[in-house]
Amino acid sequence: MLRYLFRRLLLMIPTFFGVTLICFLVLKLTNSDPVTSSNAGAMSGHQISREAIEHLRHFYALDRPWPVQYLRLVRRLVTLDLGTRWQDGRAISEVIGEALPITLLLSSVSLVIAYVLAIPLGIFSAARRGSRRDTVTTLVLFMLYSLPSFWVGTMLIVYLSSGRFVSCPWLGRPGCFPLQGWHSFEGFEQRTILGKLADVLWHITLPIVTLSYGALASLSRYMRMGMLENLRQDYIRTARAKGLSERRVYYHHALRNALIPIVTLLGLTLPTLIGGSVIVEQIFGIRGMGFVALEAIRLPDYPLVITIVAFTGLLTMIGVLLSDVLYAIVDPRIRLQGVSAK
Amino acid sequence: MTAKTVVMVAERSSASKLFHQVVKQPIQRAALVVLFVMVTVALIADMLASSQPLLLCFHHHWYVLPNLIHPSELRIYDNDLLMKHLGVDDWAVLPLVPWGYNGHDLTHVLSAPDAVHWLGTDSSGRDVLARLLHGSRVSLIVGVLSVTVLVTIGTTLGTLAGYFGGVLDVLLMRILEIVHSIPTILLLVTLLSVLAPEGYSAVIAMTVVIGLVWWTYVARLIRGEILRVKELDFVHAARAQGASTWRVIFGHVLPNASSPVLVSATFALASAILVEGALSFLGFGIPDDMASWGGLLNEVRSNIEAWWLAVFPGAAIFVTVTAFNLVGEGLRDALDPRTR
C-alpha cells in the first residue's frame, strides 16, 4: 500500500509539470509581454514606473528565454513564492487562501448532497425496474442531466432573487434569496456564530442547488445501473434461494457491490464540481477560486492564472488518487498493483 | 460482383436496423424530430428572420430574396423603414419574423414579449426570436465541427496507442492524465481569451479549442476498444493471411471498435453545444454581434428582471442538448449488447 502510494505520488510530479507547461505555453501564445501590455497600471490607477516594470520583468524572468521562464515559474510554485496580484497588489497566496475554502465549501456540500440523494434514488429505481415510477424517475434524472447549469442558476436568480416574481417582504428585501456573495456584506461580523451560519446557508442555497443537481443526476444513473448489474448476478440468485428476505438481498448483497463504482466516481466528480463552480460562482457573484480565475483571465494576470490552474490541477490529481485508494479499500478483489497497471 | 452486392445489402440493412432500433421508443423519435427541425431552422434562418423582405417591389424595381442578397441600395432600410417608404404600387413579402438578428429596434428596448416582438427584445432592442433562430447556426456548427475535430484526433491517437502500444501508449496515457487534471472550463476560457477571436473566426476558434481539449475522452475509449479487439480471433486470422498492418487496422480492428465512438460522439455533440453556451454565457465565446444562445443568456446578468432573456435561449439549449443525449442513449442501447 505504501509503496503504491509512493509510486503514485512520484507519478504526480511529471503530471504537475505537464499541467503547468500546457498552461504556460497557452499563455505564451499571445507572444506579448504581460507586464507592459497588461492593465497592471491601468487597473490600480497609477502609472507604473520604469523601475517597477523592470522589477516585475525580472521577478517573472521575462527577460530570459522561455524555458528559463518556465523553470522559474515552477520553482516559484513549488516554493510557494507566488508574488502579488496585479489588480491590487495583494499576495497571491492570501487571495487563494481566501478563495479556496469558499470553493471547497460549495463543492463538498454539493458532493455530499448529491451522494446522499443519489444512492437511495438509484436503489429505488432499480428495485422497481420497469414500473411507471422508475420510468418517470429515470426520465426526470435524464432531463436534469441535460439541463445547463448556467441556465438553472440564471433562472433561479430571475425567479427567486430578483423580486419580480416571488417576494419575501419579511426578509426586508425584494427577492427571497440574495443576489450575490456567500454572506451578507453588512453586519456579518456582528452576528453570532449561529447567525453567521444561517446567513451563509441562506446565501449558498441556490448555488448549491445549481451545482449539485448535475452530479446527482449522473450519480443516481450510475447507481441504478450498478444495482441492476449486480441484481443479475448469480450470487443474488443464491441469496434468494437461501431464503433471505428481499430487503437483505438488496441491502446486504447487491448494494455493497453496487457502491464500489460509485465510490470511485468521487475522484471524477470532484474536478467536475470545481469546474462547475467557475460558472456558479460567476452567476451568484461568489468570490471563490473560479471567480478569481475568471477575473485573472480577463485582466489578464498570467501568474495568477497559472497558479490557479496548477492548484486546481493538483487538487484534481489528489482527488483521483484518493478515489483509487478508496477503490482498493472497498473492493478487496482489487490489488493496488493491478490498479496502477490499468 | 455478387460478393460486393451482398456486403452492401448487409451494410444497408444493419444501418437501417440500427435506425429502427434507435427510433423504437417514442421519446427517441421525438428527439429525432426535434433535431430535424433544429437543423432545418439553422439552414433557413435567413428566410425565417431577416431585416429585409423575401420579395420586394420597390419604386418599380423588383428584388428577389433581398434578405439573402442584401442589395447595396437597400442597405439603409430595414423592414420597418421600408414599410414607411413604400409607394402606391410597391409591395413586399416579409419573413415570418421581420427582424434581423442584429437589427436594433430602439423604440423597443428590453421589452417583454408582445405582438411586435414575439419573444421580447434585449437591452439594445434586438429581437430575441430572430437571435434565437440565427443562434441555432452557431450551436450546431460548433457542435458538429468540434466533434469532428475531437473524433479525428482521438481516434487517430487512440488507435495508434492501442494498436502499437509501447512508448506511444505510455506517452498518450501521460498526456491524457495531464489534460484530465486541468479544469476544462478554465483551459477553454484561457485559450479563448488569449486568441480573442472576432466574427466568424470565433466559431472556428471555439470549435478547434473544444476539439483540442476534449479529444482525450474519445482517445481513451477507442484505445480500450482497440486493446480488446486486436486480440480477437478474426484479427489474428487476418494477420495470418498476410494482411498489412494498415489493412488490419482500417479493415478489421477499427470498424469493430467504432460503435462506442459513434455513441460517445453523439454525447460529445451535446456537451459541445452545452459548453459553447457556457462559454458565451461567461462572455468568452461568440462575440455580441453574432447571435448565440449563450450570449443571449449572458444579458440576463445585467437585467435580472428580463425573464424572457433567460427562459427562451436556455430552453433552446436544453431541448437541443436533451435531444442529442436521447439519440445517444438510443444508439448506445442499440449497439451495446450488455444493455439489451
pLDDT tens digits, B297-334 = 999 988 888 999 999 999 999 999 999 999 998 888 88
Residue whose grid cell is 440565427: B134
Q: Which pLDDT value is given to residue B7?
A: 46
Query: What is the value of pTM for the model shown?
Result: 0.89
Test A139 with B27 for CB contact under 8 angstroms: yes
Residue A87: pLDDT over 80: no
Residue A48: pLDDT over 80: no
Q: Which pLDDT value is given to residue B282?
A: 92
Q: Which pLDDT value is given to residue B49?
A: 92
3-class DSSP state for residue A216?
Answer: helix
Q: Which pLDDT value is given to residue A39?
A: 47
Considering CB atoms only, which of A139, A147, A282 is closest to B318?
A147
Kindly report which listed range (A327-341, B95-109, B289-303) carries the lowest average pLDDT score.
A327-341
Model ipTM?
0.87
Considering CB atoms only, which of B174, B183, B301 is closest to A271?
B183
A226: closest chain B residue by CA: B339
Test B278 with A148 for CB contact under 8 angstroms: yes
Chain B contact set for A26 (CB, 8 A): 187, 190-191, 194
A35 pLDDT tier (thresholds 50, 70, 90): low
DSSP calls for B212-262 = HHHHHHHHHHHHHHHHHHTTSHHHHHHHHTT--HHHIIIIIIHHHH-HHHH
Considering CB atoms only, which of B183, B189, B307 is closest to A274?
B183
Mean residue pLDDT across chain B: 87
B307: closest chain A residue by CA: A158
Q: Which pLDDT value is given to residue A335?
A: 62
How would you class A258 by CB atoms within 10 Å of its CB: exposed for 0-12, middle for 13-18, buried for 19 or more?
buried
Chain A contact set for B304 (CB, 8 A): 157-158, 161-162, 179
B 124-183 → A contacts, CB under 8 A: 174-175, 177-183
Residue whose grid cell is 409607394: B87
Test B180 with A30 for CB contact under 8 angstroms: no
B 231-260 → A contacts, CB under 8 A: none
Chain B contact set for A31 (CB, 8 A): none
- Looking at the complex, does the CB of residue B281 fall below 8 Å from at least one CB of chain A? yes
Q: Which pLDDT value is given to residue A166?
A: 83
- Looking at the complex, does the CB of residue B277 fall below 8 Å from at least one CB of chain A? yes
Q: Which pLDDT value is given to residue B132?
A: 95
Test A19 with B178 for CB contact under 8 angstroms: yes
A257 within 8 A of A230, measured Cβ to Cβ: yes
Test A158 with B300 for CB contact under 8 angstroms: yes
- Looking at the complex, does the CB of residue B327 fall below 8 Å from at least one CB of chain A? no
B296 within 8 A of B128, measured Cβ to Cβ: yes
A189-235: pLDDT as tens digits: 888 888 889 889 999 999 999 999 999 999 998 999 899 988 888 99
Rounded mean pLDDT, B152-180 = 90
Considering CB atoms only, which of B181, B189, B322 is closest to A294?
B189
Q: Which pLDDT value is given to residue A327?
A: 79
Considering CB atoms only, which of A164, A275, A297 is closest to B305?
A164
A275: closest chain B residue by CA: B183
> Peptide bond preceding A300: is omega within 30 degrees of 0, i.e. cis?
yes
A272-303: pLDDT as tens digits: 887 888 999 999 999 999 999 999 888 878 88
Q: Which pLDDT value is given to residue A66?
A: 81
Q: Which pLDDT value is given to residue B323?
A: 94
B27-80: pLDDT as tens digits: 889 999 999 999 999 999 999 999 888 888 888 888 888 888 888 888 888 888
Q: Cell for A328?
A: 482498493
B206 within 8 A of B139, measured Cβ to Cβ: no
Considering CB atoms only, which of A18, A149, A164 is closest to B178?
A18
Task: For residue B57, give the nearest of B89, B29, B27, B85 by alpha carbon.
Answer: B89
Å from B37 to nearest chain A CA? 19
Test B297 with A151 for CB contact under 8 angstroms: yes
